Amino acid sequence: MCCYVKLYDLHCMIQMNIFYIVTIQTSPTNQTLRQRYCFIIVFAVQINKVCLQVTVEAVIGGSVVRPCSSAESKLELKEMFVFWRDKDNRIIYDLNEGTDSLKSQDPRYKNRVQTFPDEYKRGNFSIKLINLTHTDAGQFNFYITPSDEQETVQLIIKESTNNKKTVGQKHN
């Protein structure tokens, strides 16, 4: 087996930080001149969501599918943006409003990324990276907007133990 996907325990952490500022209402004691000062309530909610830690292993010279899917039930491709970035924030692949955008793709990924457009409507935005090298190892992130979904995929590159370079076998 030259490639497999490990799905670690599903860890969903939602961290909410709520900051609020309240200006206390004050009013003069004179009823006829009563003035009210406004309440100012500011809620800044920051939600950090980290779900589904994924590790993918593959061999040098082989290929690997990096999983990416949306939990959004009503997908409007014309309104979606999907961004794949590597550990150094280089552009692997962008999907803008349902259309491939390769003009800013990092040269190291040119002609090495394959996509599955027929799967987009199902929320599957996985990519396949071919001709793997040691430098492909590391952490990769994808971001889906406007649903604000993101996930990290850890890619481990190993030396081939046999001549097979076919991938696609998954193990939970």
Average pLDDT over residues 88-111: 92
Per-residue pLDDT tens over the stretch 140-154: 999 998 888 888 889
Average pLDDT over residues 34-40: 36
Average pLDDT over residues 74-87: 88
| Domains (range + CATH), the chain | 4-9+53-158 (2.60.40.10)
Q: How confident is the model at residue 162 (pLDDT cuts 50, 70, 90)?
A: low
> What pLDDT is attached to residue 148?
86
DSSP 8-state symbol, 104:
T
Q: How confident is the model at residue 14 (pLDDT cuts 50, 70, 90)?
A: very low
> Above 70 in pLDDT, residue 135?
yes
Q: What sign does the dihedral 118-121-124-127 (CA atoms) show?
A: positive
Strands (E) located in the chain:
4-7, 13-19, 44-50, 54-59, 64-66, 81-85, 91-96, 99-101, 113-115, 127-129, 138-145, 149-158
> What pLDDT is attached to residue 121?
86
Average pLDDT over residues 76-86: 90
Which amino acid type is present at position 84? Answer: W
